[in-house]
Amino acid sequence: MLGSRLLQSGIEVNVIALNRGGFYAQALSRAGVHVDVLGKRFRFDPLTYFRLRQRLHQLQPDIIQSFLFSANSYVRLPGIAPKSSRVIVSERCVDTWKSGWQLKADRWLSGRMSTMTANSESVAEFYATSAGVPRDLITVIPNGQPALSDEGPAPTGPTLREEIGLAADARVVGFVGRLAAQKCLADLVWAIQLLYQVIDNAYLVLVGDGPVRDQLAELAQSFDCRDRIIFLGHRADAVTLTKQFDVFCLASSFEGMSNSLMEAMASNVPVVVSDIPSNRELVQHEQTGLLFPHGDGAAMMKALKRVLEDAELAERLRRAGVHLIKERHSVEHMVQQHVDLYEKLCL
């Protein structure tokens, strides 16, 4: 979104992928953005170092902006960036997975950049405290999200409920994302086991795949609620499916700024999320969604039950969520904040 919209704003954009391109390389190329793929093979690949240095010195860009740990490290190595270029590294998550040497690298390399962008105050705080990046070097630019509540034609083909064999009045709790430990989906499975004791037509739909899928299925089996949980795997139509949830639930222990949460809010779906700092930047309890204490399956169940049983509350949360995304997290606002930052650095 950033690359293509910057191009529309009259800014020349080139994208360099260190190892591979994939879906986004194709999307950027269709938008008219030139994409180079360097074919990195190892954690530190000398050939990629020289290819990246050569390409950047050919381009002589005013701004070099990188994303993710590998690229953020490469662009700050000595000799990579032209002396006239301003370097921006971008962090997207509270990266508690990073080892000590990676955090030390971030700290050591912080002097070789003009600024770091973070997509939430939580991410900025993490890098200031855990990696020692000076807070005045961090610029917070929240994620941008298109409004999805009324976007596009009505979907054709079977509805979500028809596809998975549920009755039209089934109540669907949904999750979209990677099935990974940080998402705390075991807590969500436990909450669903409790929920269907009081709402007998409640189901959980998980859209996505990941390393804990089999564990979740086994856990559901042990809780005697396996028939209540539907694994749909990776889906290209995830946004269309999200619009058909009765409520979206995110139980994560940490996030940066969750795109799937933003998509749910933009899709006119009420949200129930764990009470962690990054989620609180989007969800104000009782106003734009409901919060529950992280790790508390019973409290999660009670919040889901409230939304499913109180139509007035659900509608109020839907309207407030869509309004928040449109007013404070539009793609246009995100792009303009980047343009303003580029202009400030180039003065």
More confident residue, 251 or 103: 251
Q: How many domains does the chain have?
A: 2
Question: What pLDDT does residue 8 have?
Answer: 87
Which CATH number goes with the domain that contains 78? Answer: 3.40.50.2000
More confident residue, 157 or 310: 310
Question: What pLDDT does residue 283 have?
Answer: 97
Q: What is the 3-state secondary structure (H, E, C) of 263-323?
A: HHHHCCCCEEEECCHHHHCCCCECCCEEEECCCCHHHHHHHHHHHHHCHHHHHHHHHHHHH
Neighbouring C-beta atoms of residue 113, cutoff 10 Å: 19
Whether 151 is covered by a domain: the verdict is no
Question: What pLDDT does residue 155 have?
Answer: 57
Q: Is residue 167 located within the same domain as residue 209? A: yes
Mean pLDDT of 267-294: 96
Calpha distance 138→128 (Å, rounded): 8
Calpha distance 89→127 (Å, rounded): 12
Whole-structure pTM over 0.75, yes or no?
A: yes
Q: Is residue 212 located within the same domain as residue 118? A: no
Q: Is residue 282 located within the same domain as residue 234? A: yes
Q: Is residue 175 located within the same domain as residue 317? A: yes
Whether 191 is covered by a domain: the verdict is yes
- The radius of gyration of the chain's CA atoms, rounded to the nearest angstrom, is 22
pLDDT at 268 over 60: yes
Q: Is residue 27 located within the same domain as residue 102? A: yes
Where does residue 105 rank: exposed (0-12), middle (13-18), buried (19+ CB within 10 A)? middle
Calpha distance 296→313 (Å, rounded): 22
Whether 152 is covered by a domain: the verdict is no
pLDDT at 252 over 90: yes
Q: Is residue 84 located within the same domain as residue 44? A: yes
Q: Is residue 334 located within the same domain as residue 320? A: no
Question: What pLDDT does residue 347 have?
Answer: 82
Q: What is the pLDDT of residues 220-237, one digit of tens each?
A: 999 999 999 999 999 999
Calpha distance 126→133 (Å, rounded): 9
Q: Is residue 175 located within the same domain as residue 312? A: yes
pLDDT at 325 over 60: yes
Whether 150 is covered by a domain: the verdict is no
Q: Is residue 113 located within the same domain as residue 192? A: no
Which residues, at least 6 apart from 89, have a Cβ–Cβ distance to it below 8 Å? 65, 66, 72, 75, 76, 113, 116, 117
What's the domain range around 89? 2-144+330-346
Q: Is residue 113 located within the same domain as residue 181? A: no
Question: What pLDDT does residue 149 have?
Answer: 56
Q: Which two tokens stand for residue 141?
A: 């630019």
Question: What pLDDT does residue 147 have?
Answer: 75
Transcribe 68-89 into DSSP letters: SHHHHHHTTSTTTS-TTPEEEE
Q: Is residue 313 located within the same domain as residue 339? A: no
Q: What is the pLDDT of residues 52-102, one digit of tens each?
A: 999 999 999 999 999 999 999 999 999 999 999 999 999 998 888 788 889
